[in-house]
Amino acid sequence: MTENQTWVTEFSLLGFPLSLRIQMLLSGLFSLFYVFTLLGNGAILGLIWLDSRLHTPMYFFLSHLAIIDISYASNNVPKMLTDLLNERKTISFVPCIMQTFLYTAFAHTECLILVMMSYDRYVAICHPLQYSAIMRWGVRTVLAVTSRTCGSLLALVHVVLILRLPFCGPHEINHFFCEILAVLRLACADTWLNQVVIFAACVFILVGPLCLVLVSYSHILAAILRIQSGEGRRKAFSTCSSHLCVVGLFFGSAIVMYMAPKSRHPEEQQKVLSLFYSLFNPMLNPLIYSLRNAEVKGALKRVLWKQRSRSKKILQRKKASRETDSLM
């Protein structure tokens, strides 16, 4: 190994090649999106925690999806917001590798969680009488833990294969974070094994799960069409359509990014797709579930009603206390 293939201490993130004024504007806009992501997913978690009617397998998986979305956005977006306001955009080697690991781990886990959610809807609609027995607490906990474990192990494989590579320079990542394909472009050795593992992971994590989701929903659609009650069909379509919207956004952007043929400007295309993948998807997920799901909207109304009733009682107690004090 030559002298310029020594241990890398830091990378430079090129980010978005825009004027300072536009970068400041984007920083403010993306900050709002990030706050909406935290508030939206936090509200979903709070509603599921506070409303006992949402303590069901479907919302158990939805709470895991909300946690993953918060973690996923928090891994990439704060650094991006800081770099938009700074002229010097650098990241140390170890934090860069950690960012790559967390990015891939959260992405893999979200793919598997979405599959578990489609399986939950399949059991609920196609086998309603056995739903409680099949999706009991122990089973859904095992499914959630398995999703997280598989996602983390696959991410670890990617990171181990990256660490074996030498980086000769220039150490400039043409991205706004340490995305795995952008990091591999800086290696001064053959990355064929990394590319093969990434492709295999895409087949295992994207194509395979997407096929399972489509098979589940073909059975679900057939079962919904057999439901006699119009209200029952409407409720089933409501919960399933929300999940299908999330699946379409997530898997669609991921497949285009990692499996579609590259254009003449692949790096700029990947930056835009990564922005959608790491910021817009986590922000849109709670909006989709809250706007299209009657149970979530009902839970929000009940929580707000309880809070209003509690506030009224507190005010009445304070008023009664003041009246008692004035009489004395």
Instruction: Identify the CA nearest to 125 among candidates 224, 246, 228, 238.
Output: 224
- pLDDT for res 148: 93
The fold for domain 3-292 equals: Rhopdopsin 7-helix transmembrane proteins (1.20.1070)
Q: Indicate the SS3 state at residue 287.
A: helix
Q: Worst-scoring range by mean pLDDT, 110-114, 147-151, 174-178, 249-253?
A: 249-253
16 versus 81: the higher-pLDDT residue is 81
Strands 172-173 and 90-92: unpaired
Q: Worst-scoring range by mean pLDDT, 79-83, 91-95, 148-152, 165-169?
A: 165-169
Q: Which residue has the tokens 């507190």?
A: 314
The full length of the chain comes to 328
Torsion of CA 259, 61, 149, 179, to 10 degrees: 40
Domain boundaries defined on the chain: 3-292, 301-328
Q: Averaged over 53-66, what is the pLDDT?
A: 88
Instruction: Identify the CA nearest to 282 among candidates 30, 47, 14, 26.
Output: 30
Q: What is the pTM of this model?
A: 0.84
Tell me: pLDDT of 2 over 60.
no
